[in-house]
Amino acid sequence: MTGLQRRVPEEQRGKQSSRAWVFGTAGLAGVAATGGVVAILLSSASTPAGSRPAPLATNVTGTQAVGLANPGEPQAGTAALLSESQTGLTFTSSSGGENVQPSQQWQADQMGGGAYILVFTPDGLCLTATATKHGPAAQLSRCGLGLSQRWDHPYLGTDATGRTYWQLRSAATGRCLGVGGKQLDGGIGVAMLSCSKAMPWQQLISFWTAF
């Protein structure tokens, strides 16, 4: 661990036997299944056999309670955690160290294939990549098992200041969630950015374990 960042070892990622996905701590019902298999196909039934994309995995391979943390600008030392405000998603200040408040907590369900579905614990809604008239965006939506709610969390190494560097990439759009300036209410904004290999601090999103 360097500074405020911590790479969570694989053994701490809540590994467990595979199971059907259930909407975590908020107590929501699981997605309805037909014949025991959740039908999430990205093509219509008329698509010729052999050209259809594979259905998305519906089994959970691990789960953990986390905060989605951005450490802030280098040398500033002002970490922030993804949360919700009256105007939508926002980054709220960390209370110090790697503490995650209940209002900043997420449930990270890792699905078969490696992507995560991220459930905001206070209201049971899921982090969703979407499009608006102003461009790509992220919001909280009713949970499903679609591609827009699947997120990859690749580790890219260490940045110029020695912090372990992770991105949070939408499996649907290939864009990265990151800090996007100030909101009208004064909060720290959220944006969907073109993913960069240059490791900009705005795109550094770490999982802080929450207990």
Per-residue pLDDT tens over the stretch 84-139: 988 889 999 888 888 999 999 999 999 999 999 999 999 999 999 998 877 899 99
- Residue 3 in any domain: the answer is no
CATH number at residue 129: 2.80.10.50
Cα distances from 97 to residues 5, 93, 168, 195, 197, in angstroms, run 10, 11, 21, 27, 27
- Residue 2 in any domain: the answer is no
Q: What's the average model confidence in pLDDT over 15-29? A: 42
Provide the domain count of the chain: 1
* Whole-prediction pTM: 0.77
- Residue 173 in any domain: the answer is yes
- Domain residue limits at 68: 10-209
Q: Which residue has the tokens 């990622």?
A: 13
- Residue 36 in any domain: the answer is yes
The CA radius of gyration of the chain, in Å to the nearest whole number, is: 17
E strands present in the chain:
15-20, 59-70, 80-85, 88-93, 106-111, 116-120, 125-132, 135-141, 151-152, 155-158, 164-166, 169-170, 176-182, 188-193, 206-209
